[in-house]
Homo-oligomer: A and B are copies of this chain.
Amino acid sequence: MLAPATQVKTPKTENPLAFDVENMKHAVKQGELGLSEGGVPIGAALVDSKGAVIGVGRNRRVQQGSATRHGETDCLELIGRLPASVYKDCTMYTTLSPCTMCSGAMILYGIKRCVMGENETFVGGEGVLQAHGVEVVNLDLDSCKTLMKTFIKQSPEIWNEDIGEE
């Protein structure tokens, strides 16, 4: 990444909602599927305020040779076209701090909450999200950290490519 605007690293959210802990499992499952495919193991799920899963997605850099299908954008792409009102009632769950592209996609569509699994491996656009009024929650889950540690140890060059680093 370019020298970022002031980096914001959301601290672990104490006493997270059971609703968020429960819904994160959909995103974690996608990350696990990605790892089993040899892909960057980041998953996402878009869930409405009643807990209905609108869609799920995972990073497809390896699987599809994709430069733009991160967990969150893959989720939004697989869902397809939606009116703005649906997004505004949703939370994006993602196993890792969302990069600037994915943060920008959430802002574009007015997604008002973002719940991440962890931000120890990578810190993305949390500051941009917060500047645009998005609520950011960090569950700080060991399971999500382990997924990334396993992958980065195996394939550091793919991970660097995914975050625009060399």
Contact = CB atoms under 8 A, between A and B. Distances in A.
Nearest to A129: B2
Given A73-B68, A87-B164, A101-B104, A110 B80 contact: no
A71 B100 CA distance: 17
A2 B104 CA distance: 11
Contacts of A128: 5, 100, 104, 128
Interface string A85-102: 101000000000001111
Interface stretch (A11-19, A24-32, A130-138, A143-151): A130-138
B112 A107 contact: no
- A contacts with B: majority SS: loop
A81 B110 contact: no
A132 B5 contact: yes
A133 B101 contact: no
A128 B83 CA distance: 25
Interface string A27-63: 0000000000000000000000000000000000100
A103 B163 CA distance: 15
A91 to B, nearest CB: 14
A73 B5 CA distance: 22
Contacts of A134: 2
